[in-house]
Amino acid sequence: TQHSVKELRSIGIQPDVLVCRSELALPDEQRRKIALFTNVPESAVFSARDMDDLYAIPIELRSQGLDQVVATQFGMDLPPADLSEWQQVVEAGRNCEGQVTVAMVGKYMDLRDSYISLNEALGHAGRRSGVNVRVRHIESEQVEDEGVDCLAGVHAVLVPGGFGERGIEGMVSAVTHAREKEIPYLGICLGMQVAVIEFSRNVAGLAGANSTEFDPDTPHPVVALVTEWLDESGQVERRSEDSDLGGTMRLGEQACHLAKGSLARNEYGAQTVYERHRHRYEFNNRYLEELKKSGLGFAGRSIDGLVEVVELPSHPWFLASQFHPEFTSTPRDGHRLFDGFIAAAVSYRQRGDLPAKAASAAGA
């Protein structure tokens, strides 16, 4: 701490507050010593000790008076911060019972921070559902090599976003497994596209269906660049650098209209939602009616008529979105799609527990 402050002073910065990381709470004697040798008031030296729950850290620092010191430093006369809602988040984490396991099948699992927002969103939903969420990160190429046995014991399957051909068939196999075994499935961005590919091949009978990103010569381009497919009137869709979709890439928050009676609308509790996008390939509307007749539900559309959400009405919980709902999940409010997904995982786990409990009772 003293060395860090010395380095700051060498470039003309004198800290007003010190928050010291430590395994245990700083003893008063050590706090006084730090204050003495750094020219920081003892009342402005705070201890950020190791906590079982990261979300408890603001509560801990507030209990030491950090908020009042900061307010005083800025000459602001403020009442004590009301952290009652945040305290509820912490208590919810402490009161979680049981566990569900979510298989996240993706392309960049060796870089866990690639999916940090997804990991956090699943954790938020777990707190709100009162259950611990264990995320099993599975490389999609592992599914290609080992088959779906590596998905044994999971209560839900999630396929996140990504780019490129590598590992796609492993994701498709994971979707097949979730669909056939009635395991809750959530697809995000690429996860929606592979869900469409899987359904097209294995349910609608469109052999060789694919995205033009992975197979430019596919006989059934169910996913393609908007500029590569015809709209419902037979006209080639046009997108340019001046269009409202940012050229051929859709970026940022956009409106999505949800179909009445759909799972997505029931989960959101709203007709129109706003979610963030980052993708270039879209569902090909040329196949919309054909896949609808085969049982695929189209639950969300953009203002331009592009497909945003697909689902399987015949499945207990199967939903995939072209947008990224994880970006708007928060510890306090969570996100309705993740809440529904984890609740479905809990229900799936409970259904699996019933035969075991019945057998145990019979044996007794």
Catalytic residue set: 189, 324, 326
The CA-CA-CA angle for residues 351, 172, 154, to 5°, reads 30
Q: How many residues does the chain have?
A: 364
CB 137 within 8 Å of CB 174? no
3-class secondary-structure state, position 106: strand
Alpha helices for 48-180 (secondary structure H):
57-63, 66-73, 84-94, 116-129, 140-146, 168-180
| Integer Cα distance of 91 and 95 in angstroms | 6
Instruction: Determine phi and psi for 257, rounding to 5 degrees.
Output: -95, 125
Tell me which residue of 164, 161, 48 sits closest to 115, measured CA to CA: 161
Q: Residue written as tokens 């079982």? A: 52
Instruction: Determine phi and psi for 319, rounding to 5 degrees.
Output: -145, 140
State the CB neighbour count (10 A cutoff) for residue 209.
24
| Integer Cα distance of 116 and 249 in angstroms | 23
Helix (H) or strand (E) holding 274: strand 272-279
Q: Is the dihedral of CA 311, 317, 323, 328 positive or negative?
A: positive
Backbone Cα Rg of the chain = 25
Residue 245 per-residue DSSP state: T
